[in-house]
Amino acid sequence: MKKKVLAIILGAALITSMAGCQNSAAGTEADSSSNEAAESTEETASGDSAESTDTSGESYTIGISQFAEHGSLDNCREGFLEGLKEEGIEEGKNLTVKVNNADADMSIAAQISQSFVTDKVDLICAIATPSAQAAYNAAMDKDIPVIYTAVTNPTEAELADDAHMPVGAVTGTSDQLPVEAQLQMIREILPDAKTIGILYTTSEANSVYSISQYEELVGEYGFELETAGVTSTSEVSMAAADLLTKVDCLTNLTDNTVVSSLPAILNQANEKNIPVFGSEIEQVKIGCLAAEGIDYVNLGKDTGKMAAKVLKGEAKAEEMEYQLLTDSSLYINDKVAENLGITVPETMTERAVENFAEITQE
């Protein structure tokens, strides 16, 4: 699977003993992606030998299948490449990277994965549950490992068993939401709120699982839950409009279809002066009031380090338990609070990892 550089050893006796052998040429060439159906960006770099002693003389080609383009998944991709680099596998030295984005379309995610299999990449990194499922389905019998990230519940997605062990050559990191911490945060900021609303995609296993967690816990914090399911981005606006007539606030999941439409949802909510809570930092930057969420760059880094072990032959994907990032952090957008006329308790402002004084346009 790896391309190895054979050293030519000087010396007449050794040359004679190797007379019948052929040496492979050093270097790699980036394959061009053939997936015309996906709106994709491809990043390639010729693979020179790495300085690291662990990867000396080896080069790799990986495919990154990202389900949608939004802040949290972009941060996963960035962190993934950083994690690889920290382990001596670096784009521009010994790594060729192909990146394709499915634009929140499951059929395109399947096409992307199939194109990577056709290209015989060394490893597929799948970002988000639908891409992870598509990648594993395409690669399971092709001796191509899949390392995923931003998969909320790998067991529900049928990528792992109840013991967190993979069902095949597929493993990675989970971004399971800190639901209880999120509910506690909402109650602190909105002590009089009664009903929380959540938009979600009915076909995303990660979202269905997160909804079940909210249903189990909302009562403990004195809330009722209203949900609205969608199947595509075209349905989000109408579903949001209806949901906003029934709730005191919205809380967002890491639902890829919904997050892709978040700016439009925020506009609708702002017109009704209804706060929207995010699930990670990027959502707070663009207009959610606050979030108790994980750091997706760090999640990506952990994923990159897992991938490095597989590429170097130090571990097999099918023997690696998936990892769960459990630490969450509080993020608050003070400008959003001001616009909504909401006073965030000072104790929360002080413990927030970041407080934003402006709204960033996505």
CATH number at residue 87: 3.40.50.2300
pLDDT at 168 > cutoff 60: yes
Identify whether residues 309 and 333 lie together within a single domain.
no
Q: Which domain holds residue 160?
A: 3-175+296-324
Please state, in angstroms and rounded to a whole number, the distance separating the CA atoms of residues 188 and 181: 11
Average pLDDT, the chain: 87
362 within some domain: no
Buried b (16+ CB within 10 A) or exposed e, 33-71: bebeebebebebbebeebebeebeebbbbbbbbbbbbbb
pLDDT at residue 140 is higher than 60: yes
Whether residues 158 and 18 fall in one domain: yes
Q: Report pLDDT digits (tens) over 259-292.
A: 989 999 999 999 999 999 999 999 999 999 999 9
| Pair (164, 229) in one structural domain | no
Are 9 and 93 members of one domain? yes
Determine the pLDDT at residue 81: 98
Residues 91 and 106 in one domain: yes
d(CA 213, CA 88): 39
320 and 334 part of one domain: no
Residues 95 and 160 grouped into a single domain: yes
Structural domain includes residue 52:
yes
pTM: 0.77
| Per-residue confidence band for 327, with pLDDT thresholds at 50, 70 and 90 | confident
For the ranges 66-70, 223-227, 345-349, the lowest mean pLDDT is seen at: 66-70
How many structural domains compose the chain?
Answer: 2
Q: Is the pLDDT of residue 19 over 50?
A: no
In this prediction, residue 362 has a pLDDT band, given cuts at 50, 70 and 90, of low
Model pLDDT, residue 56: 57
Average pLDDT over residues 201-215: 93
Question: Parallel, antiparallel, or unpaired for β 354-356 and 224-230?
Answer: unpaired
- The answer on pLDDT for 11 being more than 50 is no
